Chains A and B, each alone.
Chain A
Amino acid sequence: ETGVTQTPRHLVMGMTNKKSLKCEQHLGHNAMYWYKQSAKKPLELMFVYNFKEQTENNSVPSRFSPECPNSSHLFLHLHTLQPEDSALYLCASSQERVRTDTQYFGPGTRLTVL
């Protein structure tokens, strides 16, 4: 266990559904991240939060909406997704938002969009 939990672990949704992914870290970290991992492609950083403030949005489509109510919780709200959005969505946290920090990952949510 890395101290980062994600729910649900698996999610199947239609293109018109609205769902949310949840991430919680029990490490006392200040930075949290959402990544998208597609088969045979590098991890894609989606969003970065530092002390609850969004500091990075890597040109992610608006159908993905992050929310960080506090330093321990991170959500990814999904609506009107496309089949190409099917992927493993990983949440990570680090002590600070610096390049030398180790990132701790959750187990991911496997998302399938029909």
Chain B
Amino acid sequence: SQQGEEDPQALSIQEGENATMNCSYKTSINNLQWYRQNSGRGLVHLILIRSNEREKHSGRLRVTLDTSKKSSSLLITASRAADTASYFCATDRSGSNYQLIWGAGTKLIIKP
């Protein structure tokens, strides 16, 4: 069953604006990861946040985690055309030491 669910399914914004994507999950997790996928390509790891962390930054990326609401958000500030991609969250699966459970992704389009 699907663990992570991204919201919205698609997002279109102007270059320079901030983009926010959300991920909700159902069961307790140990960590949550965000990945980016450019059209028709493989996924690239962006950031990992552990269950005892509330916020993490990496360049223009800011990830928050609210374990009480079982949700995470990915904020991309000052968006660029190169940020156009699909973004996926992945959570570890209870009872499995290595399986990641993936959402269906948010498709982000940055308009020049």
Contact = CB atoms under 8 A, between A and B. Distances in A.
Interface residues of B, number: 29
Interface string B81-97: 00000001010110011
Contacts, number: 70
B64 interface: no
A29 to B, nearest CB: 12
Given A97-B97, A99-B97, A100-B48, A42 B102 contact: yes
Contacts of A100: 30-31, 48, 50, 92
B92 A99 contact: yes
Nearest to A44: B102
Given A42-B2, A43-B88, A2 B102 contact: no
Contacts of B50: 100
Contacts of B30: 99-100
A52 B48 CA distance: 27
Contacts of B44: 2, 105
Nearest to B105: A42
